[in-house]
Amino acid sequence: MNFIRKIINSRSKTDEVFFNDLKTIIGFKPKNLSYYKKAFTHRSTKEIDLDTGNPLNYERLEFLGDAMLSAIIASYLFNEVPSGDEGYLTQMRSKIVSREHLNELGRDLDLLSLVKSNIARSKFGENIH
């Protein structure tokens, strides 16, 4: 049975490198690598999701991720800063989830090295991080 499980769960060499790099960044083993691969696929690859027929790239996930991150930060600030009024909490959340701050974090984590794209890295703008 372990032999069959190994065959089913086997990854290509490229996927194995991606898996290990990702595991190092996030600190745990990703269970469904396909979500992460989609999250790091740029629209320039023009790949199509075989299940849905829709473009396979991170743009829709980015929309959802931005909203989730904002909600998580809002909850954290609400609980950790009980004396903060709505204006202060909104301002703090905006600073934390700002494009500039998230790009800095992406650069620090070298997330661009995981992006699958048909565009040269040097051609990307600063907001790709």
Structural domain range at position 15 = 2-128
Rounded CA-CA distance 40/37 in Å is 5
Whether the predicted pLDDT of 82 surpasses 80: yes
Burial class (CB in 10 A: 0-12, 13-18, 19+), 39: middle
CATH number at residue 41: 1.10.1520.10
* Entry pTM: 0.71
What would the pLDDT profile of 41-75 be if each residue is shown by its tens digit? 888 888 888 888 888 888 888 899 999 999 999 99
pLDDT for res 64: 92
Structural domain total, the chain: 1
